[in-house]
Amino acid sequence: MASRHWVVSLPVENSASSLWNRLQEQISKHSFDTPLYRFNTPNLRVGTLDSLLALSDDLVKSNNFIEGVSHKIRRQIEEFERVSGVESNALTVDGVPVDSYLTRFVWDEAKYPTMSPLKEIVDSIHSQVAKIEDDLKVRVAEYNNVRSQLNANNRKQSGSLAVRDLSDLVKAEDIVISEHLITLLAIVPKYSQNEWLANYETLTNYVVPRSSKKLHEDNEYALYKVTLFKRVADNFRTNAREKGFQIREFEYSPEAQENRKQELERLAQDQESLRSSLLQWCYTSYGENFSEEERKEVVEEEEEETRKNKRA
């Protein structure tokens, strides 16, 4: 279960230590196992009251945006871990658990100099998070594209006989192709097989007697082959369709079958590689985005407290 943290602002005056002690005493009376931490905030360059008022709206927008990006990354991590069936790894920030990062937060002076105007710091944080979001969109789109291709290929392999790829069900010896003869593949409803066997030889002239053979069967259909003269093939297709039998267009090609197999293997490897890469990126970027969110919170607290004091 995730921890919940409350942030309390105390006046930065001589009485600060006294207020801190009083807060500790009150908390310990009602919740003895609730720890308190001093949240270290730097002395930021706050500027004028007008600039603080103008910044207030920007902070609200940035807060929603940065929090939204964190949620997107976390949801992506959860989705991958759920699909993979792996136990969720604890999210970290700068290599430490989120709770530890919060309680030991230190401002990154090198990245965000405290002498910079608050608006400049906020804009820089927003820009950094926007880059993370853009990168996330590109990576997710690339992964989803490969996943869609793989799913489409898998559907061709696992769908019903009416739509699936037949190349792995038909062998070279099943096909007769000569100057005058052709083998057609018929998709017959499962419960109409007796009707097919009783009628296929009479659907048109010049059908080779007893040439029909069942090659495969699924929950809905059966796959039959039939050999006939090429010149009556179109007529056979028309009459078969009228009887409720579907003639599938098919050209036997060992090379094409091998190419499809290799393509399927390549897509599966690409999907796993992209999934692993994206998941690792999400772990890293979640920590980076979270730290940016925390710095923004510091600016927000500083802005709000200073604005109150200036108005007073």
What are the tens digits of pLDDT across the range 106-125?
A: 888 888 888 888 888 888 98
Same domain, 90 and 192: no
Q: Which of 37-51, 152-166, 280-294 has the lowest mean pLDDT?
A: 37-51
Distance set, CA 197 to CA 18, 64, 219 (Å): 96, 67, 19
pLDDT at 138 over 90: yes
**Mean pLDDT in residue range 254-282:** 88
Q: Does 235 reside within a domain?
A: yes
How many domains in the chain? 2
283 inside domain? yes
Same domain, 149 and 244: no
Report yes or no on 13 lying in a domain: no
> What count of other Cβ atoms lies within 10 Å of the Cβ of residue 193?
15
4, part of any domain: no
| DSSP annotation of 219 | S
- Cα gap 256→289, rounded to integer Å: 47
pLDDT class of 305 with cuts at 50, 70, 90: low
Do 144 and 197 fall into the same domain?
no
* 37 falls within a domain: no
In a domain, 167, yes or no: no
Checking if the pLDDT of 63 tops 70, the result is yes
Average pLDDT, the chain: 84
Alpha carbons 184 and 169: distance in angstroms, whole number: 14
Is 140 inside a domain boundary?
Answer: yes
In a domain, 25, yes or no: no
Q: Which residues contact 212 (CB under 8 A, 6 or more apart)?
A: 186, 196, 197, 200, 201, 224, 225, 226
Which domain, by its residues, includes 189? Answer: 172-252
